[in-house]
Amino acid sequence: MVSVINMSSRRAARAESLTAYTLLAPSLVGVCLFLLLPVLVVFWLSLNRWDLLRPMQFVGLENWTSVLGDSSFGHTLLVTLAFVAMVIPLQTALGLLMAVLLTKGLPGSAVFRVIYVIPWVCAPLALGIVWQWIFAPFDGALNTILGVNIAWLSNPDLALPAVAAVSIWSQVGYVALFFMAGLSGIPKQVVEAAEVDGASPWQTFWQIKIPLLAPTFFFVLVTGIIASFQAFDTIWALTPNGGPQGATDVIATRIYLEAFRGAFDLGRASVMAVILFAILVVVTVVQQRWFSKRVTYDLS
């Protein structure tokens, strides 16, 4: 009797597993086709020389030594890191500030929620064209308002901060939406208990709300850093070909230039893409481990 019951349990478990894998199959196929396979293809291309016209030629690690020994690629990495360092802190802080103000129920909050998200849903290239006019040195809107004549996008010292400002402006509404969701998910009784214990609004915010927003911070920072490392559309629209003296030569721009401009060297471009992928994996894992000890999902 016991053996019969065990056999029935195993059959039920196998049937349940089969059902689960059947339901997961479409997603697993999608992950394999559109995530794992492209990564493997790009890695294989990094070991070959190919210009899209002549036959592919296996060169081993030649492309890797060429890219890693290229000082201009080192400059590209530094520019990318500087861009991320400019965008992420301000984007996160402003998004949190906007979320706090919008959750207070002030007059017009519903309208501003829509206005703040509009830049995020617009096409990046279209935004780039609009901001080209705003940053225009002679008849641009910004210089007209300030009463100055500054070449924002052709000055090597100002081009990257200007591009970073546009990126922050376009993404901050998206960040604010997630912080609003996180703030609304904090139980009111937790905040009320802190207030009963004599905590000031400032203490409640920093010692209660900020720690409970850790899952939101984790999501916002991971997605924001990944998007910033891969930024291309708006940067290219504002400062094509890497900007003045390579001031905005981020890694996504360099990959495009290597692959589809000049020598059409897909091998070197693939090496850069693999390096970018490795950087993002390391940064994401570091964030995941750091937040894993600080995130609380159960607020009941």
Q: What's the rounded Cα separation, in Å, for the pair 166 and 87?
A: 9
- How far is the C-alpha of 239 from the C-alpha of 159, rounded, in Å? 8
Each residue's pLDDT tens digit, 25-38: 888 888 888 888 99
| CA angle 210–83–85, rounded 5-degree value | 35
What pLDDT is recorded for position 295?
66
Nearest 5°: phi and psi at 138? -105, -50
pLDDT > 90: what percent of the chain? 53
CA distances to 7, 9, 26, 98 from 16, rounded to whole Å, are 14, 10, 17, 46
Q: Which of 127, 138, 221, 133 is nearest to 166 (CA)?
A: 127
Taking phi over 0 as left and psi of -120 to 50 as alpha, with beta for the rest, 262 belongs to left
Does residue 53 carry a pLDDT above 90? Answer: no
Among all chains, which residue has been given the structure tokens 């905005």? 248
Q: What is the pTM of this model?
A: 0.88
Mark out the alpha helices in the chain (DSSP H runs): 2-31, 37-45, 62-68, 71-102, 109-121, 124-134, 141-146, 159-184, 188-196, 201-204, 210-212, 214-229, 233-238, 251-260, 266-292
Q: What pLDDT does 8 receive?
A: 67
Q: Calculate the average pLDDT of the chain.
A: 88
Which distant-in-sequence residues (6+ apart) come within 8 Å of 232 by Cβ?
250, 252, 253, 256
Question: How many residues are recorded in the chain?
Answer: 300
Q: Are 175 and 224 in contact (CB under 8 A)?
A: yes
Instruction: Give mean pLDDT, residues 177-188.
Output: 90
Please calculate the CA angle 222-226-229 and round it to the nearest 5 degrees. 140
Task: Write down the pLDDT at residue 298.
Answer: 56
What mean pLDDT is predicted for residues 134-148? 89
Q: So what's the pLDDT on residue 280?
A: 95
- pLDDT for the residue 292: 81
How many angstroms separate the CA atoms of 78 and 281, rounded? Answer: 18
Q: In the predicted model, is pLDDT for residue 194 greater than 90? A: no
Backbone φ/ψ region at 246: left (φ over 0), alpha (ψ -120 to 50), beta: left
In whole angstroms, give the CA distance from residue 234 to residue 219: 23
pLDDT, mean of residues 165-172: 94
